[in-house]
Structure 1
Amino acid sequence: MMNRVLLASSSLEYVEALLDFIQGSSYSAVFQVTAFSQPEAMSRYIEELSPTSTPDLVVVEEQFIEKWISSPFADKVPVLLFTEQFVSEENQTEIRKYQPLPAILAKWEEVLLSSSRREKGRFNGEQTWVIGVTSASGGCGKTTVALNLAKQLGRSGYSVFYLNLETIDSTGPFLHTTSMEMQSESGGDSFSQLLYQLRTNKIPNSSFHGEKKDRIDLKSYTIRNERIQADCFIPAKNRKELLQMNKSDTSELIRLITESGQYHFVITDQDSVWDLRSEAVMEESQLLIWLLSDDIHTMNKYKEWMKFHKQLDPEQYENRMRKTLHVINRYMGNMANELPGEEMMAEHYLPYIPSWKQMREPDLLLSSPIYQKEMSKLCEAIGVLNRENTA
């Protein structure tokens, strides 16, 4: 992912030296720098900023800082202030101006990563994280992202459960779920059996005389899929079961997985419509990856979604936005449409893969080196993987 950096120093020679070094190094694929040596020029640039063009990091000398603080995006972007004094490694707000250039750029990377982790929290291994992959419009690539995310986490050593809550399962060609059914130990429609057991266990029964509810053996309903290196359920044969799932059913199902103690992550994938399953996912998730694509239909639909939920329950809306990561999928290098809402920022971009458009082999969806690389960066950005994991 290319990170946009706003750089400002009164020393034109310093700026040019830093830009020349970036251009001639591997950092040219990491940082897109817009540099200024005059405060007035920087002010004009800031006035023309939009949510889609906002920098990811601001690195400035003290005489430029007031120009940035007065901008409407000041509280959303991390700032590094140049100093000629010694700066400790833990300092995330200042950077020593005169030091080896690779050290300066390494600090930029560190602050960008740290800022993203502070914003969305960081997985610490003490609980199972539910990551909901969602969108307001179909065709944004939810299933593609969810499957590749599960694979990325699985091959990094985490224990992962992929939970597909789509009414019409779209994973068959990629996960070969028809052959998976043949391996199921429970036989029949195991997902329907699981839902039945969940519902009956919720019904109070005085004949139990205070005894605990039956403990559901999750393993008897799951199967391992090596293509994504994750466990999952066999897709439901009876679609009515999914249509009849209410918010409580979905929450109970998610909690059954998280409370089993078997998984680090649960990756959810559901329909791009507003229903009770989606409502439960949004409440149970520690992180929501909200997908957008660069088209006016998707942007407008999400804008209307935001407006509706903000009016419906402002407090709940704010809680969900705090744990939401906005991701542009099928990114082609620049944005033709503005993001809906002045306060909204895209925090990650996943690339458009042209070869998928006329794909004959479904397995290719899970084996693109370019996509896997960017998925790894997404995991690193949300604090799931560290640099050693992704190297």
Structure 2
Amino acid sequence: MHKQQLVAAVREADYLERLADYIRHSAFGERWQLTAFTNPQALRQYLKSGYPVDLLVAQTAFTPQIEEAGVSCITGLFVPIGHTSGEREIAQFQPLPTLLQSFETLYASGAPGGRGSIRGTKKSAVVTVCSAVSGIGKTTLALRLAQAMGARGNSAFYLNLEQWNASASWLGREGREDALSRLLYTLQSEPEQAAGHLNELKCRHAGLKIDYIPPCPNPEERESMTAELAELLIRAIRESGYYDLLVIDTDGRFDPVTIRAMQASDTLLWMTEPYASSRIKTEMAWAHIKARWGEGAAELARRTKWIAVHPGGTNDEPYAETRVRIDHVLPPAEEGGHGAEPSASPGYRAAIEHILERQLLRARGR
């Protein structure tokens, strides 16, 4: 895969070391190659040698050498926090995920002929986690799947389509609260700019090694989303070419948005429990799906893999009444209590790896 060439020039060598290390282990590093300089004359010689440069960001101390070299690439200026005023000025010391988003935004806004809408070459598999039972652990499963993908050195995107989106308990409150509404507006008004705005508005969770859209505090944003917009959003992420896996987290309403997400997925992971109430809710949900979407429900059923949430062991007998074939069994998810990012139990981690391996390979036809 061809990478865009990023040149960064600052006086602080330790800053460049931290930046290079972070890029090396992030999704940004899959698209960009960093070349760093602390010496102005070394930068001047590099630029005059004609090496390809797509984006150059430097401190003001390097300006004379850049002007002397006469480069024609997109350039940005590192400035102290609180001093940014121009479109090409970037605060040097800020959270690294935000800094990398600033690089992407600068490139997208300044590239001629739309060249800034950087696209990768990956073919993303799409998996939707769903259930008719609330509180069953859909968000935990979805995030752990994405995390496991990132831990393998691949790239994953987590998309939460729940009306009551509580993923901030895992992901925090970084990013713009209006990110989803801005991205949806772009999809409607300027769809050709969707890739660039996705780069600008997404966030990166360094611990989980996943990208995501920041949770929206206003549940009406999700309430007003249409099935068509949901499809455009999923397509924009999938066709960006950045991700090996897109994991969609849904609620149990099975409204048009949820159904459209299911239809856009390669695999559906349906979670169920060994209780009569879970079986009844599942049967009612599928009756609703069949009544609303007719023959399309059969195709959804064909893509569905059944995930058994087992409260104590791996015995399949409690699921005999579900009348479906259990594909995977999930043991208790967490150890050590609850928290912002609780540790997954060894058995749960093993089950996640098994699901990821089988369903990702299946989704890609291998």
TM range, smaller chain: 0.5 to 0.7
Is it true that 1:321 corresponds to 2:301 in the alignment? Answer: yes
Where does residue 156 of structure 1 map in the other structure?
152
Map 1:1-391 to 2 at 5 A: 127-175=123-171, 177-178=172-173, 180-181=174-175, 187=176, 189-201=178-190, 213-217=192-196, 218-333=198-313, 334=315, 335-341=317-323, 344-353=324-333, 355=335, 359-364=337-342, 366-384=343-361
Please tell me the residue identity of whatever aligns with 2:305.
L
Please tell me the residue identity of whatever aligns with 1:248.
E
Does the residue aligned with 1:338 lie in a helix, a strand or coil?
helix
Does the residue aligned with 1:168 lie in a helix, a strand or coil?
coil
Please tell me the residue identity of whatever aligns with 1:235.
P
- In the aligned structure 2, how far is the partner of 1:139 from the partner of 1:369? 21
- In the aligned structure 2, how far is the partner of 1:220 from the partner of 1:354? 33
Q: Is the 2:250–2:258 contact (alpha carbons within 8 Å) kept by the matching residues of 1? A: yes
The CA deviation string for residues 183-230 of structure 1, in whole angstroms up to 9 with x for no partner, is: xxxx4522211111112236xxxxxxxxxx445411101111123211
* Structure 1 residues 374 and 241, CA gap change in structure 2 (3 angstroms): same
Alignment length, in residue pairs? 239
Gaps of 5+ in 2: 1-120
Does the residue aligned with 1:336 lie in a helix, a strand or coil?
helix
Please tell me the residue identity of whatever aligns with 1:267.
V
* Structure 1 residues 231 and 279, CA gap change in structure 2 (3 angstroms): same
Q: Is the 1:331–1:349 contact (alpha carbons within 8 Å) kept by the matching residues of 2? A: no
How far apart are 1:331 and its partner, in Å?
4.4
Does the residue aligned with 2:320 lie in a helix, a strand or coil?
coil
The CA deviation string for residues 23-47 of structure 1, in whole angstroms up to 9 with x for no partner, is: xxxxxxxxxxxxxxxxxxxxxxxxx
* Structure 1 residues 224 and 126, CA gap change in structure 2 (3 angstroms): closer
Q: Is the 1:135–1:272 contact (alpha carbons within 8 Å) kept by the matching residues of 2? A: yes
How far apart are 1:132 and its partner, in Å?
0.3
- In the aligned structure 2, how far is the partner of 1:307 from the partner of 1:236? 31
* Structure 1 residues 194 and 299, CA gap change in structure 2 (3 angstroms): same
The CA deviation string for residues 79-133 of structure 1, in whole angstroms up to 9 with x for no partner, is: xxxxxxxxxxxxxxxxxxxxxxxxxxxxxxxxxxxxxxxxxxxxxx962111000
What is the RMSD of the two structures over their aligned residues, measured on CA atoms?
A: 2.2
- In the aligned structure 2, how far is the partner of 1:339 from the partner of 1:157? 40
Identity of aligned residues (%): 27
Does the residue aligned with 1:174 lie in a helix, a strand or coil?
helix
Q: Is the 2:177–2:215 contact (alpha carbons within 8 Å) kept by the matching residues of 1? A: no
How far apart are 1:310 and its partner, in Å?
3.2
Does the residue aligned with 2:217 lie in a helix, a strand or coil?
coil
Q: Is the 2:254–2:285 contact (alpha carbons within 8 Å) kept by the matching residues of 1? A: no
How far apart are 1:318 and its partner, in Å?
1.3
* Structure 1 residues 277 and 311, CA gap change in structure 2 (3 angstroms): closer
The CA deviation string for residues 290-348 of structure 1, in whole angstroms up to 9 with x for no partner, is: 1111111111111122233334444211111111100102342234353433xx20111
* Structure 1 residues 250 and 238, CA gap change in structure 2 (3 angstroms): same
- In the aligned structure 2, how far is the partner of 1:150 from the partner of 1:269? 11
Gaps of 5+ in 1: 1-124, 182-186, 203-212, 386-391
Please tell me the residue identity of whatever aligns with 2:347.
I
The CA deviation string for residues 42-74 of structure 1, in whole angstroms up to 9 with x for no partner, is: xxxxxxxxxxxxxxxxxxxxxxxxxxxxxxxxx
Please tell me the residue identity of whatever aligns with 1:249.
L
Please tell me the residue identity of whatever aligns with 2:351.
E
Q: Is the 1:137–1:273 contact (alpha carbons within 8 Å) kept by the matching residues of 2? A: no
Does the residue aligned with 2:351 lie in a helix, a strand or coil?
helix
Q: Is the 2:205–2:211 contact (alpha carbons within 8 Å) kept by the matching residues of 1? A: yes
Please tell me the residue identity of whatever aligns with 2:349.
Q
Q: Is the 1:245–1:276 contact (alpha carbons within 8 Å) kept by the matching residues of 2? A: no
Q: Is the 2:129–2:270 contact (alpha carbons within 8 Å) kept by the matching residues of 1? A: yes
The CA deviation string for residues 123-148 of structure 1, in whole angstroms up to 9 with x for no partner, is: xx962111000011212110010011
Q: Is the 1:330–1:353 contact (alpha carbons within 8 Å) kept by the matching residues of 2? A: no
Q: TM-score, normalised by structure 2?
A: 0.61
- In the aligned structure 2, how far is the partner of 1:383 from the partner of 1:275? 26
Does the residue aligned with 1:328 lie in a helix, a strand or coil?
strand
Does the residue aligned with 1:140 lie in a helix, a strand or coil?
coil
